[in-house]
Structure 1
Amino acid sequence: MKTVIIGSTGQLAQDLLKVLGPDATGLSHQDLDVTDGVAVAHALQALKPDWVLNTAAFHRVDDCEVNAGLAFAVNALGARNVARAAAAVASGVVFFSTDYVFGGQGRSRGKPYRESDLPQPLNVYGTS
């Protein structure tokens, strides 16, 4: 199964690349800017993966507060670009999130968050 991991220089992506091995292709920010929808579409069209794992994020919480435009460009519009490009080549897609979207309780909550949980973002990072 051919997998593309977007945001490949981050910790999560590096762990995924180790687990998935040679069937996974990593694309770093230098390889692919998720805010450029045309570039994302071209990359996935060329690679035609079975799965796309999007780990790309602007996640420096304090910097997100100062530069909300960049946070939304990467975290919201970039995710949209990946979703559209993956759909265009019939790839499955997985997005990763943060407890900052759901009030930041994290492990103290005692159970994983679900897509149906009510968002209660703590800040720009969680909102984006």
Structure 2
Amino acid sequence: MRILVTGAKGQLGSAVVRCASSAGMEVLAYSRDELDITNSALVESMLFREQPDVVIHCAAYTHVDQAEVEVDTTYQVNAVGTRNLVFAAEAIQAKFVYISTDYVFDGQAKAPIDEWTMTAPIGVYGRSKLAGETYVRDLHSRFFIVRTSWVFGHQGKNFVKTMMRLGDEKEQLKVVADQIGSPTYAEDLAEAILSLIKSNCFGVYHISNSGACSWHEFAEAIFSYTKQPISVIPCTTEEFPSLAPRPAYSAFAHQSLKLNGFKEMRHWRDALLTYLKVEKRQK
């Protein structure tokens, strides 16, 4: 299987490249500098030349707060860039995987969100990612829309790395306790995506590690596992105002994985322990 990965140097993209290469797949890995997805002619010529069997689209504009300011740029990357890839992928009959987000929901749910829940994004980032979903649905016939949340991986910045750094610098820390979601280990997500592309079970999937927590609970688990002696104080979202609104509740149900017979995702606490062990080995 010949796979083209966009955003190949990001948290998820790098995990997909590692997992696919380990599985013996031929991987064409492109970073933002190597493939400008907003250039339709360039995207089309690249895909027609390389002829991948699958396109896994991990590239995105993910600066949630800055998206409220750089609106055009956000849509140019997340919507128009996705359209360019989808159109070319359909033309060469390559399967298409689009990585979406919990930010396509408004955060008003009271129970884990399944794949058929009505979308209602509350910020520019979420709306731009939903626009990308729309292009995928409208322009491609064999697609997987994969919504995920709270990703932590070995490449780049993430919440876990930030907490570990602050744990070495501070004795006390305030962390938001009124936002609930599902943490996702990038390596687990990558493995799940590779399982999808081997099938023809196309559609929308919610893929995160199982279970849910607040950012505060997530931080407490990190410090407990790393044995960093720091006091974690719960606080509200209002105490940390930001440009972009955040969903208050975005924990996922994994109905599509279950109904299509895919492997259940392990609990986020188990995934976190594995992540920390790998990070320790890599130091």
Q: Report the TM-score when normalising by structure 1.
A: 0.91
Structure with the higher helix share, 1 or 2: 1
Moved over 3 A (4+): none
Residues in 2 aligned to 1:58 and 1:109: alpha-carbon distance in whole angstroms: 28
Report the secondary structure of 2:97's partner residue: strand
5+ residue gaps, structure 2, are 129-283
Task: Read off the aligned partner of 1:56 and give its amino acid letter.
Answer: A
Q: Deviations over 1:59-97 (max 9, x none)?
A: 100111000000000001111101001011111101010
Matches within 5 A, 1:85-104: 85-104=88-107
Amino acid at match of 2:11: Q
- What's the TM-score once normalised by structure 2's chain length? 0.42
* Count of paired positions: 125
Q: Cα 1:104–1:5, aligned 2, differ >3 Å: closer, same or farther?
A: farther
Cα distance 1:75–1:105, how it changes in 2: closer, same or farther (>3 A)? farther
Structure (1 or 2) with the greater strand fraction: 2
Give the equivalent residue in structure 2 for 1:19: 19
Q: Which amino acid is 2:13 matched to? A: A
Match of 1:75 in 2: 78
What SS does the corresponding residue of 1:49 show, helix, strand or coil? coil
2:36 maps to 33
Aligned CA-pair RMSD: 1.7
Q: Which has the higher contact order (CA 8 A, sep 6+)?
A: 1
Write the letter of the residue equivalent to 2:101: T
- In structure 1, list runs of 5 or more residues that go unmatched: none
Q: Distance in 2 between matches of 1:48 and 1:59?
A: 28
Secondary structure of residue in 2 paired with 1:26: strand
AA in 2 matched with 1:13: G
Say which of 51, 71, 84 aligns to 1:48. 51
| Sequence identity percentage | 34
